[in-house]
Structure 1
């Protein structure tokens, strides 16, 4: 069974919804029980899987991949909504009396916000560092600065391509192990392994590996969609969360979670079961589709509500943050994201 056609998979939007829910509730004060970092890791995995799937579809249809169109799609997909988000963030910071620096704005639009956050500090003492949330966009863009050229060079040799991907996954794991155990967490900047591209991009690469494997070796799909394979992935995911040793969490955790998603993903996305049915519910799919804007705005809304209504009770605060975040993300998706993506498609037609 081939699993890489370009038609949209509703369950992928559903998984995005799960991802943003983990991030949202972790940031909203439930981080002690909700693994927000796992939400970002799932986002990365989905990104690698989807973009590889689209590249494979284009390659199989035309025998090539238009890199210029790829970067134009990225530009129209990300930048307009990001620009509006930054303008609103800076305006709210100015109203609150927070200062900000052009250097951090530059780090957002030139996609080095992750390293800026590691080696410097984002502004926002009153409204808590709204631009810092863009670190994960930097990781993705660094990856996609390189990956299309790697794809074009090796996709015609899928075994070699998968071998290169595997070598990169092992190399990045070894690099994290060296940083954590060789240099030591006490000697590394805060969030060094969590937000840096050189230690997190493998979460995207696991999604790429699965997409290439299912496309070029479709006989693996039925094997990967067995429940015992899903159970293995679920066990690995549970293991990654119950081990609380900080050295493990900053080194092996991301690889264990990448493998777990590799084993769980086919059952969640391509099988017919109660889990995939849930992921395809209309509201869950909708949350997945607005997840990019929701990821951006929820952090800003959390900071703004904490500043302007600090004494409201926790339940009412959560309700306010949820409704405001959904409203802003819906407006961004409907009037910014969809509008500019449609414009991009017209320009590339």
Structure 2
């Protein structure tokens, strides 16, 4: 079962939103220019404005992490669980980060919460309102056109679970039994869309309730996310009494794991809330954070070292090793807390990079390289098609490498390594075509529609100091 997925591209929204709020005229866009390959290619390669271009590099590396992990997953499908686990146990330590690629999903959730909260909080702070209809319209139209094309192709192919594809287009596919889901890796889109549906309403509720502060509400939700994870783990005996391997590989246990603990908003919204809190800090306290970092040398350094240590720890935690994966209170604590702790560490690292704090300026420079602009904008297209590409690429490659009579670990590393590289290259090529012919034209339509129609009426919100 596929189990990873990135956030959708919000940078286009933020760039247009910034132009609108600065009262600058949007670039002239006519109906004839919607499908212009030259214009759309230029939009893909142009520099993103503002600080948020740094996210493109973070997203692309997160996408690579997910693609490699899914290549491992496809390898296990073609070779069976016994061969897979035998190969896994023989793999060197420096590759253990591959087995923890589920953290890439949390990374994308943090980024999503961060970007969406900045957009909504700035709108609220400037206008005292949130334009709900416009927000929901833009979010649905941002994700759905390319998704719908792929869904139609999937349905027409008669692939397994094609009769359930309607749930994907309504972004409720994660409510289905995991065995019934079509395009199983797209559960993350459902989680994000459900969160986007609720977050503006939560912000309106906070604004209309003077006794509630933003931080109190968000920290309360973060604690609630941990309690829900513990409650689900405790309620289902097959999860409480299982090791991590069985949660991923045993047919019965894995269905409970994915359906109740992994694929739904209730147990995964913690990293999104962490991103929202980071967005709030960036909107209203970035100068205070920068001044604090300049005034004290050692505290921000210690915090950056700690955050990177936590990130590396969870990247290399040997969760799939039999010595560490037995059912125990330690494993239960890990399952409850690991996503939130990792997300907090990543959120601070991300904030440090955006604010260009002195101790992480190398990362600020690295993620500002122009190469990440087009690659980062392609992550949504790549995400939607990458697993289908991997299935096509790895099948013949696996058959060939099996004829070489290699050690199981060598065979897996060769198949996964070559398969991931070839799949990434092919996914980028297909992703560019998707961007030029589907994704960007519909973004152009959305922009043209809004220019001609005008902004819808906002929902008023009380100002809070």
Please tell me the TM-score bracket, short chain as reference: 0.7 to 0.9
SS in 2 for 1:201: helix
TM-superposed deviation, 1:173? 0.3
Of 187-196 and 307-316, more deviation after overlay is shown by: 307-316
SS in 1 for 2:257: coil
Equivalences for residues 1-349 of structure 1 within 5 A: 6=18, 7-8=49-50, 9-29=52-72, 32-34=96-98, 35-91=100-156, 93-94=157-158, 98-103=159-164, 105-118=165-178, 120-122=179-181, 131-155=183-207, 160-184=213-237, 185=239, 186=242, 189-191=256-258, 192-222=260-290, 223=292, 226-241=300-315, 242=317, 244=319, 245=325, 246-271=331-356, 273-307=361-395, 310-313=398-401, 314=415, 316-349=418-451
Of 151-160 and 25-34, more deviation after overlay is shown by: 151-160
CA distance in 1, matches of 2:378, 2:312: 28
CA distance in 2, matches of 1:195, 1:58: 31
Judged with a 3 Å threshold, the aligned counterparts in structure 2 of structure 1 residues 220 and 155 are, in CA distance, closer, same or farther, namely farther
CA distance in 2, matches of 1:42, 1:220: 25
**Unpaired segments of 5 or more residues in structure 1?**
124-130
Q: How well do the aligned residues superpose, as a CA RMSD in angstroms?
A: 2.7
1:116-144 CA deviation, whole Å, 9 max, x = no partner? 253x3346xxxxxxx01110001101111
TM-superposed deviation, 1:112? 1.8
CA distance in 1, matches of 2:151, 2:450: 27
Judged with a 3 Å threshold, the aligned counterparts in structure 2 of structure 1 residues 216 and 99 are, in CA distance, closer, same or farther, namely closer
TM-superposed deviation, 1:266? 1.2
TM-superposed deviation, 1:347? 1.3
Structure whose CA Rg is larger: 2
Of 260-269 and 167-176, more deviation after overlay is shown by: 260-269
Judged with a 3 Å threshold, the aligned counterparts in structure 2 of structure 1 residues 261 and 159 are, in CA distance, closer, same or farther, namely farther
SS in 2 for 1:190: helix
Tell me the TM-score normalised to structure 1 length: 0.86
The answer on whether the counterparts of 1:139 and 1:196 sit within 8 Å (CA) in structure 2 is yes
CA distance in 2, matches of 1:268, 1:294: 25
CA distance in 2, matches of 1:250, 1:194: 10
TM-superposed deviation, 1:163? 0.6
Judged with a 3 Å threshold, the aligned counterparts in structure 2 of structure 1 residues 335 and 158 are, in CA distance, closer, same or farther, namely farther
CA distance in 2, matches of 1:50, 1:224: 23
TM-superposed deviation, 1:307? 4.5
Judged with a 3 Å threshold, the aligned counterparts in structure 2 of structure 1 residues 220 and 210 are, in CA distance, closer, same or farther, namely farther
1:49-91 CA deviation, whole Å, 9 max, x = no partner? 0011111222233232211111111122100010122233345
The answer on whether the counterparts of 1:193 and 1:250 sit within 8 Å (CA) in structure 2 is no
SS in 2 for 1:328: helix
TM-superposed deviation, 1:180? 1.8
Residue aligning to 2:4? none
CA distance in 1, matches of 2:445, 2:233: 45
TM-superposed deviation, 1:213? 2.4
SS in 2 for 1:311: helix
